[in-house]
């Protein structure tokens, strides 16, 4: 199918649901889905942001602003994922555990609003990485409309750009827990350090990045094109990250890559 045909197929599938809850994070995938659902279903579509300790405050505020600009029927569902001790232990199945609990929260919101179908922004490209969370979503009956319409990540960015979505080129993101190595306990403390460090680096103009927290060591992943600029600012960066609580600050020479913590699996 052409991209236009994929979009029409997506719209038709959404229309067939009548009412829809979209798991919305403010990233390009869920934003496109929420925008299309809003266009097709109007107030019968709601966009729900799952707010737990692993969600950066900046992501919530960006999602809120975007939802307002798009006129989405926006809600925030707050819950604590760290109350689940199995999740906090940070096993390789961390995402599976989180998606199970997230699905339960979304189902409660859907039930309160008389909605039977919950959709997320999973697309064909997501199957190229280790994503145990997708299995959990499948088990919980979460719908993946992009997958059914044959839509990839590249398709999503192209469609988002054509529809004028401000986040069409937003760097890929993931919850803060993905910065903590498997087996190392996830706490509000190490999540907060990662969040503050990443916000600081973003304030310096670095785009796609991750700060992985290996204990008190910060491993910074940047685009390779940004590496020299980071080295030029190394004294400033080291001083700030040590002030946040890291003892050692390193720059990963392999650069940014999605899911780098999965390399040990």
For residue range 104-140, list pLDDT tens digits in order: 999 999 999 999 999 999 999 988 777 888 999 999 9
Whether 100 and 72 share a structural domain: yes
> What pTM value is reported for the model?
0.91
CATH of the domain at 17: 3.40.50.620
Name the burial class of residue 148, with classes exposed (0-12), middle (13-18) and buried (19+) by CB atoms within 10 angstroms of its CB.
exposed
Domain extent, residue 239, equals 176-264
- Quick check: helix, strand or coil at residue 98? helix
Taking the C-alpha atoms of residue 76 and residue 56, their distance in angstroms, rounded to an integer, is 14
For residue range 156-168, list pLDDT tens digits in order: 999 999 999 999 9
Q: Is the pLDDT of residue 264 over 60?
A: no
**Cβ distance 252 to 229 under 8 Å?**
no
Taking the C-alpha atoms of residue 102 and residue 79, their distance in angstroms, rounded to an integer, is 9
Count of domains observed in the chain:
2
Whether 18 and 47 share a structural domain: yes
Q: What are phi and psi of 49, to 5 degrees?
A: -95, 125
CATH of the domain at 221: 3.30.70
For residue range 6-50, list pLDDT tens digits in order: 999 999 999 999 999 999 999 999 999 999 999 999 999 999 999
């Amino acid at each position: 199918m052409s991209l236009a045909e994929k979009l029409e197929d997506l719209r038709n599938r959404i229309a067939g649901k009548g009412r829809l809850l979209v798991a919305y994070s403010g990233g390009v995938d869920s934003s496109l889905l929420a925008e299309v659902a809003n266009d097709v279903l109007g107030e019968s579509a709601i966009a729900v942001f799952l707010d737990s300790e692993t969600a950066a405050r900046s992501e919530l505020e960006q999602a809120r602003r975007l939802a307002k600009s798009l006129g989405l029927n926006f809600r925030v569902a707050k819950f604590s994922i760290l109350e689940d001790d199995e999740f906090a232990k940070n096993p390789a199945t961390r995402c599976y555990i989180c998606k199970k609990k997230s699905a339960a929260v979304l189902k409660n919101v859907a039930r309160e609003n008389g909605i039977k179908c919950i959709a997320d922004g999973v697309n064909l490209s997501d199957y190229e990485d280790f994503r145990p969370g997708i299995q959990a979503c499948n088990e919980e009956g979460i719908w993946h409309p992009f997958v059914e319409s044959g839509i990839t990540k590249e398709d999503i960015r192209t469609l988002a750009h054509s529809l004028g979505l401000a986040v069409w080129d937003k760097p890929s993101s993931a919850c803060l827990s993905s910065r903590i190595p498997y087996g190392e306990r996830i706490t509000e403390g190490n999540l907060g350090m990662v969040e503050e460090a990443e916000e600081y680096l973003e304030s310096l103009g670095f785009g796609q990045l991750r700060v992985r927290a290996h204990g008190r060591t910060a491993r910074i992943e940047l685009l390779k094109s940004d590496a020299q600029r980071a080295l030029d600012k190394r004294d400033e960066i080291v001083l700030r990250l040590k002030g946040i609580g890291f003892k050692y600050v390193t720059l990963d020479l392999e650069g940014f890559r999605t899911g780098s913590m999965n390399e040990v699996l």
